């Protein structure tokens, strides 16, 4: 009888040991699953935090450089500012007492690697005195754009009954798309 009780106790101990081992294994497996989820969530939080820091850095940089970027942007003709640019050229000439006429306007695609810009070509004719023509050429160099005068044809022509100076200019400026 004792041997039977001992066997029964041993079987119960073995069963309890197996049950506790199985429980430990299940708990351990669940622990590692939860640990992996926590690590993944922590990584996502770190990525989001880094992105937030980066976005705040970019916003701050944009704020800090706003005035400087506005100055640089002014060197170029904006996407919807072609007419304004031409009017500014003509107004600069008229301010000096010249008669100004826009002869042609063209837009050429630039380098494919610089897809954000185009070349704006303007042909402009002015009539007036030699002094006015020369001051206009100087004014072109002082306009707040990064422009190039590709050619300037200055000649003395007869206008009505008097002689006047004519200036025909090929002007190139960068236009943003």
Whole-number pLDDT of residue 110: 66
pLDDT: which is higher, 133 or 24: 133
The SS3 assignment for 11 reads helix
pLDDT at 116 over 90: no
Confidence of residue 10 (pLDDT cuts 50, 70, 90): confident
Question: Cα dist. 80→18, 42, 60, 76, 144 in Å?
Answer: 80, 47, 28, 11, 17
Whole-number pLDDT of residue 113: 63
Whole-number pLDDT of residue 1: 56
Whole-number pLDDT of residue 91: 95
Question: Cα dist. 133→143, 144, 152, 168 in Å?
Answer: 15, 19, 10, 10
Cβ atoms 114, 136 nearer than 8 A: no
How does pLDDT run across 57-113, given as a tens digit for each residue? 999 998 999 888 888 878 888 888 899 999 999 999 999 999 999 999 998 886 666
How does pLDDT run across 45-57, given as a tens digit for each residue? 999 888 988 999 9
Cβ atoms 175, 117 nearer than 8 A: yes
pTM, to two decimals: 0.62
Cα within 13 Å of Cα(72), Cβ side: 5
DSSP string, 81-102: -HHHHHHHHHHHHHHTT-EEEE
Whole-number pLDDT of residue 96: 95
pLDDT at 114 over 70: no
Give 145's DSSP letter: S
The SS3 assignment for 144 reads coil
Whole-number pLDDT of residue 177: 83
Take residue 155 and report the two structure tokens written for it: 């000649």
How does pLDDT run across 119-173, given as a tens digit for each residue? 899 999 999 999 999 999 999 988 888 899 999 999 999 888 889 999 999 999 9
The SS3 assignment for 150 reads strand
């Amino acid at each position: 009888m004792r041997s039977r009780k001992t066997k029964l106790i041993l079987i119960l101990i073995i069963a309890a040991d197996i049950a506790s081992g199985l429980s430990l294994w299940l708990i351990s497996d669940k622990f590692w699953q939860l640990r992996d989820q926590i690590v993944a969530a922590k990584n996502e939080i770190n990525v989001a935090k880094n992105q937030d820091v980066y976005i705040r850095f970019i916003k701050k940089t944009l704020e800090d450089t706003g005035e400087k970027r506005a100055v640089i942007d002014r060197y170029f003709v904006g996407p919807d500012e072609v007419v304004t640019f031409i009017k500014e050229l003509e107004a600069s000439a008229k301010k000096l007492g010249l008669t100004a006429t826009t002869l042609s306007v063209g837009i050429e695609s630039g380098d494919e690697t610089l897809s954000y810009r185009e070349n704006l070509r303007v042909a402009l004719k002015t009539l007036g005195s030699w002094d006015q023509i020369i001051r206009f050429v100087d004014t072109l160099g002082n306009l707040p754009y990064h422009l190039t005068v590709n050619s300037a044809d200055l000649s003395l022509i007869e206008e009505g009954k008097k002689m006047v100076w004519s200036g025909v200019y090929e002007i190139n400026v960068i236009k943003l798309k």
